[in-house]
Amino acid sequence: MKFIVSSHVLLKQLAAINGVVATNPIVPILENFLFRLDENKLIVTASDLQTTMITEIAVESSESGGIAIPAKLLLDTLRGLPEQPITFNIDTETFGTEILTDNGRYKLSGENPIDFPKIPTVNKNLAVEISSDALQSAINNTVFATSTDDLRPAMTGVFLQLGSDSATFVATDGHRLIRYRRTDINSSIESSMIIPRKALNLMKSSLPEGVPVRAEFSQSNASFSFGNTQMICRLIDERFPDYENAIPTNNPNVLTIGRSDLLNSLKRIMIYANRTTHQIRLSLKANQLTISAEDLDYSNEANEKLLCDYDGDSMEIGFNGKFLAEMLSNLQAKMISLELSAPNRAGLIIPADKEENEDILMLVMPVMLNTYA
């Protein structure tokens, strides 16, 4: 089996799907890329059993066949090569592979493609067309707030609710919650599912700009096709928490402030916060916000005063500064509102200036300050 391909094109496509390949997979064959040659088309598959990515590459060939090639070895070789056409000669009996370049010759041993797990199929119960920019924005605004606690599997993914007039993406780790809604994504069939964090992070890094994405869902799997790449992932079969009830509705105390002003101040104050709790204190009164932090173990302390627009009762409330800073970093708005009801109730961060077709609500739980006695 023989084919010729551009080293740069092959490297770019393999790098886009390489994130799926696990370093110590349960099944050793999954350390490989599966190559399927169909004349002038090379179909490359990478999988970790939960997520599979497939890409198509144009090659020069008139043959057909398959082989599993070690992913790390091949990628490291391609990264060191200048842009040039390279030739793959593959012995389909021994699976020995020879790569011929202008610089030299490289031999590596492949494996039998039959041992590679079967690619899951998605019985298309539901199909939705999404623009890659809208999907990228939805992933960027939610995936960072998913939980890493495998004991709560429902929270390790993003909950997607499809309706006739909008799509809602929700992520929570129990300390914060993001609800991201888009009115330019909709479905004739109402449905909901939980998409795993790893699959979304892989898509985030490989989605091209300005292309349509075809999303197809079955009971257990989801498929996303864009350009010449397809990603299939297993959905999380768990019940997502009732997030609507967690969002407080009556928040009479409203702080309006420049997002970057608050974020930059937080970053400076956080240096002085306790390394374990990351606790910061917000003291609110008419048109003034005081942000402070202290680390009693090292006698470190800092505070800053910021001008703001505050309408409500004077209040002191504590937050995990790391969570607050991460949420503000993921917003694009110039001005944000922080809506509060009481020092022991969740606060809502809402962008004052919204992009067209999107609605963002971020909820952050407070931390108890020692002055609450």
Q: Do domains 2-115 and 126-244 have the same CATH topology?
A: yes
User: What is the DSSP code (8-state) at residue 123?
Assistant: -
Per the confidence metrics, is the pTM higher than 0.85?
yes
| Gap between the Cα atoms of 79 and 315, Å rounded | 56
CATH architecture for the domain at 126-244: Roll (3.10)
The tens place of each residue's pLDDT in the chain, 373 residues long, gives: 999 999 999 999 999 999 999 888 889 999 999 999 998 999 999 999 999 999 999 999 999 999 999 999 999 999 999 999 999 999 999 999 999 999 899 999 999 999 999 998 888 789 999 999 999 999 999 999 999 999 999 999 999 999 999 999 999 999 999 999 999 999 989 999 999 999 999 999 999 999 999 999 999 999 999 999 999 999 999 999 999 999 999 999 999 999 999 999 999 999 999 999 999 999 999 989 999 999 988 999 999 999 999 999 999 999 999 999 999 999 999 999 999 999 999 999 999 988 889 999 999 999 988 653 3
Q: Is the dihedral of CA 37, 43, 46, 51 positive or negative?
A: negative
Domain range list for the chain: 2-115, 126-244, 248-372
CATH topology classification for 2-115: DNA Polymerase III; Chain A, domain 2 (3.10.150)
Q: Which CATH number fits domain 248-372: 3.30.365.10, 3.20.20.150, 3.10.150.10, 3.40.50.150?
A: 3.10.150.10
Q: How far is CA 152 from CA 93, 180, 366, in A?
A: 46, 21, 21
Residue 199 parent element (H or E): helix 197-206
**DSSP letters of 297-333?**
TTTEEEEEEEE-EEES--EEEEEEHHHHHHHHHT---
Q: SS3 of 15, please? A: helix
The residue with tokens 């070789």 is 77
Would you tell me how many other CB atoms lie within 10 Å of the CB of residue 80? 10
| Gap between the Cα atoms of 352 and 338, Å rounded | 10
| Gap between the Cα atoms of 263 and 5, Å rounded | 48
335: which residues sit within 8 A by CB, 6+ positions away?
Answer: 256, 257, 258, 259, 351, 352, 353
